Each structure stands twice: as C-alpha cells, then as structure tokens.
Amino acid sequence: MARPRTFDETAVLEAAAAQFRVHGYADTSTEQLCEAADVRRSSLYNAFTSKDELFVRALEHYAATMRGRQASILTDASLSGADRLRKLVDAIIGEERAARSEGHAAGCMGVHTLMNPALRARDERIARILERDLRERLGLLEDTIRVGRTDGSIPEGHDAAEGALLVNTLIAGLRVTAQTGVTPEVLHRIALDGLRSLLA
C-alpha cells in the first residue's frame, strides 16, 4: 500500500521551478531541490521518480502559471492594447526588482530550456510544452496588438504576428540581460524603448 504524501505537490513544483528558472537544469542539484521544497530526497523521488521527471512537471507548471499571469494582463478589458503591453513589461520588471533584492536575477525556466537543445532533445515532452507555451503566448500578444489597433493605441501598419514576436523577444532579452547584473531601472528604459517601435 502506498504511503500517503506528506507534502503539497503543487508547492513542490513551484519550489522546483523557482530553482530551475534561476539556475537551469544542469546547475540545480537534487539537494537544492529538496531544501527549496522542504522535503526529503526519498519523498521527492517517491512522487516524481527522478530529477528529469520533476523538471518536466515543473516546466509544465511554470509555463502554465506564467502564461496565466500574462493572460490576466493581456485580456484586461479596462486597458487599451498599448497599456496592456506596458503593464506586462512592468510586471516583468517587477519580478526582476524583487529577485534583485534577494541577490539574483529572476531568471526564466523557458529561456533556460530553449537555450539547451540537448535537454529538449532528450525528452519530447519538453519540446511540446515549449511549443505550446510559445504558440499560446504569441496568440495572446497578437490579440492584444489587434485590440490596440482597434482602440487606436497601436498604429495601423504593424503586422500583429511580427509585433508579437518583437514583444516576446524583448521579454526574453530582458530576462537574459538581467542575468548580467543590469539594474531593473535600466531594464525598464530598454523595454520601453523596445516597445516604442511598435507603439509609435
């Protein structure tokens, strides 16, 4: 008979994702994961069987959680299309500011994983999670740009798909640049400059 779990699985996934997003897969040890989740190694492996399995589950949870947060901003009908994009950037910078107060950059599990082709090749589930996440996030951004064109806050003439790629690239670039120690204030100015080409 299986032993009852003595931990909250969602809390473990969130703790694991918090480690993976900052350190990446290779530089996150099992000891770090156990300490962050406050569980014993045996409990961790009873639930997830391996670090690889925990990574896949944590990536799926992280992608869905982050996409949900972005969707809540990008579908806010009280804001213009342009203001939704600005608010999204503000949320990203807010995460970086909070992480910097703890002595590190916020990181991004998606960016770390995209930059590791061998990791994606090792488990097709990882590629599927990333592909779905990108497709849905770009869809949200495209819809936001169309809203902006309708309400007049984003000029006509910008292709919505290319605009979505621009914003996605900007956000990924902010995550990577934050890892080099650039301050949130500078990151914010860079982000607004990047958006200006879409909003001008």
Confidence of residue 1 (pLDDT cuts 50, 70, 90): very low
Residue-wise pLDDT tens digits, 50-73 = 999 999 999 999 999 999 999 999
The dihedral built from the CA positions of residue 141, 147, 149 and 152, taken in this order, carries a sign that is negative
Counting Cα atoms < 13 Å in the Cβ hemisphere of 82 gives 17
Q: Say if 43 falls within a structural domain.
A: no
Structure tokens, 154: 């984003």
Q: Say if 105 falls within a structural domain.
A: yes
Q: Say if 72 falls within a structural domain.
A: yes
Q: Say if 4 falls within a structural domain.
A: no
Structural domains of the chain, count: 1
Q: Say if 91 falls within a structural domain.
A: yes
Residue-wise pLDDT tens digits, 170-187 = 999 999 999 999 999 999
Specify the pTM.
Answer: 0.91
Inter-residue contact 55 to 48 (CB < 8 Å): no
The pLDDT of residue 157 is 81
Domain encompassing residue 126: 59-199
Q: Say if 70 falls within a structural domain.
A: yes
Q: For residues 153 and 16, give the distance between their C-alpha atoms in angstroms, rounded to a whole number.
A: 39
Q: Say if 165 falls within a structural domain.
A: yes
The pLDDT of residue 6 is 57
Q: Say if 69 falls within a structural domain.
A: yes
Confidence of residue 120 (pLDDT cuts 50, 70, 90): confident
Dihedral angle computed from the Cα positions of residues 173, 178, 183 and 186, in that order, rounded to the nearest 10 degrees: 0
Confidence of residue 2 (pLDDT cuts 50, 70, 90): very low
Confidence of residue 4 (pLDDT cuts 50, 70, 90): very low
Residue 135: CATH number of its domain: 1.10.357.10
